[in-house]
Amino acid sequence: MWDRAARSRSGLHPALKPGAEDARLRVSLSSLLALEPHARRLSFTSRQHAKSALNGRHRSRIRGRGLDFEELRDYLPSDDVRSIDWKVTARTGTPYVRVFTEERDRPTLIVVDQRMSMFYGSVLNMKSVTAAEAAAIAAFRVLEQGDRVGGLVVGDQHVAEFRPKRARSVLNQFLTALVHAGDMLAADAPSVVPVAFNAILKSVARIAPRNHLILLISDFDEVDARSKTLLSGLCRHNDVVMVMVTDPTSQALPQGSRIIASDGTLQAELNLGDEQVRRDLLDFSQGRLEEVLQWQNEMRLSVLPLTTAEPTLEQIATLLGRRGR
């Protein structure tokens, strides 16, 4: 977890002009608003491009707007003959019609992790920045298509809650909360016990008991068996998408170097030249990734992976099969 000054001193990034803010470390309201026109070209519904991560083996079960089949019933004189199911009618010898109901809008709840574990990045962005940008893109798109949008912005010791509404004012408040949460992250921030991930899931269940689209944007660094149980409960009555934010160091560590890890109070030196140390660290991070990815085969949810090493908008466009211009 490096702050801007530490990165500049180490030569990893050039020094910024006085008063300037590095967009790779923290988002600003203007940078989030700039994503709005690009978000209009994206879709989170079930009609996805063939290359979309929501299609095929990783297909989302998210329902788009349209007509939902409800039942077959006997034909009545007032029914439109175009609604007759001729196959069932021929099989039974009795006229039957197919009844459809129009699908109502689905409120969306966007849950964004902005706790201290997200203040980390080794290539381009901090995980907190990637998460905030993904949340803004989703919020813009949901409101654009006429649905209600709300969210939870989760910091180490605070949770900003916004009930889903079809209102621009709620979206603006949500974006402002994202910026505020990101501003509170710093390498020298005091060490505190963060809000537990399972407590977040319980809050989600309270706000979105059923018929919601729930986007969980996090690195999911503390999931456990209880998390799986809570997620399973959410999936029974909602559409759930887990947007998993990772850093390249979860897959590969620099060879033969020593790094200093800190929780803000204590420090520990890790010798990456020690093969056992490297293996233990990689096994831990990759095991968590594999566990979360496995859940999409066991539960009614989708997992979308995002990396801090690439621009957020381009990744989402590729995952959804819509490359931006």
Could you write out the three-class secondary structure of 198-245? HHHHHHHHHHCCCCCEEEEEECCCCCCHHHHHHHHHHHHHCEEEEEEE
Q: What is the pLDDT of residue 161?
A: 95
pLDDT at 30 over 90: yes
Query: What tokens does 133 get?
Result: 């940008």
For residues 179 and 49, which has the higher predicted lDDT (pLDDT)? 179
Query: What gap in Å lies between CA 258 and CA 6, rounded to an integer?
Result: 17
Number of separate domains in the chain: 2
Q: What is the pLDDT of residue 297?
A: 77
Q: Are strands 267-271 and 258-262 parallel, antiparallel or unpaired?
A: antiparallel
Query: What tokens does 301 get?
Result: 């949810």
**Phi/psi at 171 (5° precision):** -60, -45
Percent of the chain with pLDDT strictly greater than 90: 40
Q: What is the pLDDT of residue 188?
A: 77
Query: What gap in Å lies between CA 6 and CA 260, rounded to an integer?
Result: 13
Contacts of 49 (CB under 8 A, 6+ apart): 55, 320, 321, 322
Q: Are residues 88 and 109 in the same domain?
A: no
pLDDT at 217 over 50: yes
Closest CA to 136 of 105, 165, 163, 110: 110
- Return the exposure string of 20-49: e unless at least 16 CB atoms fall within 10 Å of the residue's CB, then b: eebebbbbeeebbeebbebbeebbbbbebe
* 35 domain residue, yes or no: yes
Q: Specify the range with the lowest mean pLDDT, choosing from 19-33, 190-204, 271-285.
A: 271-285
Q: What is the pLDDT of residue 263?
A: 57
Using pLDDT thresholds of 50, 70 and 90, give the confidence band for residue 3: very low
Q: Are residues 75 and 88 in the same domain?
A: yes
Q: Are residues 136 and 84 in the same domain?
A: no
CB 192 within 8 A of CB 157: yes
Q: Are residues 41 and 89 in the same domain?
A: no
CB 102 within 8 A of CB 69: no
Q: Are residues 81 and 192 in the same domain?
A: no
Query: What gap in Å lies between CA 99 and CA 316, rounded to an integer?
Result: 36
Using pLDDT thresholds of 50, 70 and 90, give the confidence band for residue 243: very high
Q: Are residues 74 and 202 in the same domain?
A: no
CB 254 within 8 A of CB 247: no
Cα Rg, the chain, nearest whole Å: 23
Contacts of 304 (CB under 8 A, 6+ apart): 53, 54, 241, 242, 243, 244, 316, 319
Q: Are residues 136 and 214 in the same domain?
A: yes
Q: What is the pLDDT of residue 83?
A: 86
* 71 domain residue, yes or no: yes
Tell me the residue range of the domain where 138 lies: 4-62+105-319
SS3 96: strand
Percent of the chain with pLDDT strictly greater than 70: 70
* 324 domain residue, yes or no: no
pLDDT at 11 over 80: no
* 325 domain residue, yes or no: no
Q: Are residues 21 and 139 in the same domain?
A: yes
Q: What is the pLDDT of residue 129?
A: 96
Instruction: Return the residue matching tokens 């319980």.
Output: 202
Average pLDDT over residues 269-280: 66
Select from 47, 77, 102 the last residue of a domain.
102
pLDDT at 19 over 70: no
* 161 domain residue, yes or no: yes
Q: Specify the range with the lowest mean pLDDT, choosing from 23-27, 52-56, 208-212.
A: 52-56
pLDDT at 314 over 80: yes
Whole-number mean pLDDT of the chain? 79
Q: Are strands 149-154 and 159-165 parallel, antiparallel or unpaired?
A: antiparallel
CB 213 within 8 A of CB 44: yes
Q: Are residues 74 and 135 in the same domain?
A: no
Query: What tokens does 234 get?
Result: 């959410």
Q: What is the largest CA-CA distance in the chain?
A: 82
Q: Are residues 152 and 8 in the same domain?
A: yes
Of 120-129, 169-178, 279-288, highest mean pLDDT = 169-178
Using pLDDT thresholds of 50, 70 and 90, give the confidence band for residue 283: low
* 133 domain residue, yes or no: yes
Q: Are residues 206 and 87 in the same domain?
A: no
CB 188 within 8 A of CB 3: yes
Q: What is the pLDDT of residue 41?
A: 78
CB 103 within 8 A of CB 239: no
Looking up residue 146, the CATH number of its domain turns out to be 3.40.50.410
Query: What gap in Å lies between CA 324 and CA 41, rounded to an integer?
Result: 8
What is the pTM (predicted TM-score) of this model? 0.73
Using pLDDT thresholds of 50, 70 and 90, give the confidence band for residue 270: low
Count of helices and strands (H, E) across the chain: 10, 10
Beta strands in the chain (DSSP E): 67-74, 96-102, 108-113, 149-154, 159-165, 213-218, 239-246, 258-262, 267-271, 301-307
Q: Specify the range with the lowest mean pLDDT, choosing from 84-88, 102-106, 115-119, 159-163.
A: 102-106
Q: Are residues 92 and 198 in the same domain?
A: no
Q: What is the pLDDT of residue 18?
A: 42
Reported as a single tens digit per residue, the pLDDT across 155-164 is 998 999 999 9
Query: What tokens does 150 get?
Result: 């709300």
